[in-house]
């Protein structure tokens, strides 16, 4: 009887080893914290909002640490001894992949099937790092410091909207002239989306979800 138990235990341990180490077994890869690279001069803020205080301005091309937390389109970010939040769209989590956009709220799964565990939900419009490996219509990707699989049909390579960086404190106005109403005051280092040709030296922009006009000479 004792011999039977020993043999059975040995078999179970061997089977466990095979299942864990089986070739082709898919699992989520993660790093804590993960590296990222800024793709433009970028504000490091005290909170996940454009209204939060700016702690520092990170230059384009510097490496930052991403602990993995996201909120409101911002990554929690560590840089040069500072801890804060930075707009995710302007941080490349590359590692050899290509940045694409999620076209809908999209499950990031531990493996390439609907039966695999959902690690997190990628928000619609978020930037995702897409790798070359594909299986069952799923693509190997990374988002917010977590690697996994997402359905390839909901990842778009379309180029996003043109953006510009505010180079000084700058009024966002209701129209393309200095006589138009001031809707908001943008801070140096803030990022705006360029939406049209503008007029009278003013560019048509969207800032923090609000459409208006800003003086083009102070947009870089």
The DSSP line for 62-113 is -EEEE-S-EETTEEEEEETTEEEEEEGGGEE--TT-EEEEESS-EEEESSSS
Three-state DSSP at 165 gives strand
Given a cut of 50, the residues of the chain with pLDDT beneath it are 2-30, 95, 159
The torsion of the CA quartet 65, 69, 75, 77, rounded to 10 degrees, works out to: -30
Instruction: Write down the pLDDT at residue 134.
Output: 82
- Residues with Cβ within 8 Å of 190's Cβ and at least 6 positions away in sequence, in order, are 43, 50, 165, 166, 207
At 213 the pLDDT is 92
Phi-psi group of 80: left, alpha or beta (phi > 0 → left; psi -120 to 50 → alpha; rest → beta)? left
Cα separations in angstroms, 25 against 20, 21, 22, 70: 8, 7, 6, 28
CA 85/CA 70 separation, integer angstroms = 9
pLDDT value, residue 126 = 78
pLDDT, position 153: 85
**Residue 214 pLDDT:** 93
Total-model pTM: 0.36
Q: What is the pLDDT of residue 94?
A: 54
CA-based angle 115:134:75, to the nearest 5?
A: 80
What backbone phi and psi angles, to 5 degrees, belong to 9? -65, -40
Domains of the chain: 34-92 (2.30.30.40), 98-156 (2.30.30.40), 163-218 (2.30.30.40)
Q: What is the pLDDT of residue 33?
A: 63
Specify the pLDDT at position 185. 94
């Amino acid at each position: 009887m004792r011999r039977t138990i020993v043999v059975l235990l040995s078999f179970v341990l061997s089977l466990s080893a095979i299942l864990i180490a089986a070739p082709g077994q898919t699992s989520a890869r993660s790093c804590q914290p993960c590296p990222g690279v800024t793709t433009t001069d970028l504000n490091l803020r005290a909170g996940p909002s454009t209204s939060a205080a700016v702690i520092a301005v990170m230059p384009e091309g510097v490496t930052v640490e991403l602990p993995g937390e996201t909120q409101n389109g911002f990554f929690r970010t560590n840089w040069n001894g500072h801890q804060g939040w930075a707009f995710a769209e302007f941080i490349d989590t590359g590692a050899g992949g290509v940045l694409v956009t999620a076209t809908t709220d999209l499950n990031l799964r531990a493996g390439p099937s609907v039966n695999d565990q959902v690690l997190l939900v990628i928000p619609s419009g978020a930037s995702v790092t897409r790798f070359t490996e594909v299986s069952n219509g799923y693509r190997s990707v990374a988002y917010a410091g977590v690697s996994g699989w997402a359905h390839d049909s909901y990842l778009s390579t379309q180029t996003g909207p043109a953006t510009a960086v505010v180079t000084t404190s700058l009024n966002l106005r209701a129209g393309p002239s200095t006589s138009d109403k001031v809707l908001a005051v943008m801070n140096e280092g803030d990022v705006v989306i360029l939406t049209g040709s503008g007029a009278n030296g003013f560019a048509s922009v969207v800032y923090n979800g609000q459409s208006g006009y800003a003086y083009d000479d102070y947009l870089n």
